[in-house]
Structure 1
Amino acid sequence: MFGYSPFASAVDFLRTTLSARLAAARSRDPEEGASVVEWVVITTIVVVLAVTIGVIITNALNQKATTIQNCINSAGGTSGCGN
């Protein structure tokens, strides 16, 4: 009736994978929790650093793109672009 949806199979895969991971996490030794917390903290730090670096690079590229666009728009003038 609605046709094939690739998202439906992706959602099923995610649901199955997450439920298997949750079951495995619940069956582990409680003392392993400390190392899991360490991994979560380390992963959080790495993700925050990656996002921060991505934002910095994106802002720098946007500034350069604006500068280039301004030079193109004022081509033939005496704006001093490219000198």
Structure 2
Amino acid sequence: MNGRNFSTGIPGVDFLITFLQGRVQRARSGELDRGASAVEWVIISAVVVAIVGVVAAIINAALKGGADKVGNCIQGASADKTC
């Protein structure tokens, strides 16, 4: 495999050997580090989405609480008092 041409005479096996030699060369060259960068971006994106989700849930809860408060005030309102 060390850069030698290898032929078995069987096209399927020759293809498989050539394919595996290419994969081994890519692994040794460090070219596969590009995938690690993509994984890092996916993890960073997931963290950002989670933070946005938590903030949205907090804001939604605060708005719901305020809306309930205003609704209760309107239901109990009378002409002579304010909320």
Q: Report TM bin, short chain.
A: 0.5 to 0.7
**For residues 37 and 78 of structure 1, do their structure 2 counterparts lie closer, same or farther at Cα, with a shift above 3 Å needed?**
farther
Of residues 53, 59, 66, the one that matches 2:55 is 53
- Residue 37 of structure 1 and its aligned partner are, at CA, apart by 0.9
Instruction: Identify unmatched segments of 5+ residues in structure 2.
Output: 1-30
38-47 or 72-81, which deviates more: 72-81
Match of 2:45 in 1: 43
Q: Which amino acid aligns with 1:32?
A: R
Shift of 1:64: 0.2
TM-score by length of 2: 0.57
Q: How many residues align?
A: 53
| TM-score, normalised via structure 1 length | 0.57
- Two-structure CA RMSD over aligned residues (Å): 1.9
Change in 2 beyond 3 A, CA 1:66/1:44: same
Aligned-pair identity in percent equals 38
Q: Which residue of 2 aligns with 1:31?
A: 33
Gaps of 5+ in 1: 1-28
Structure 1 position 79, deviation (Å): 7.8
Runs in 1 of length 4+ with deviation above 4 angstroms? 77-80
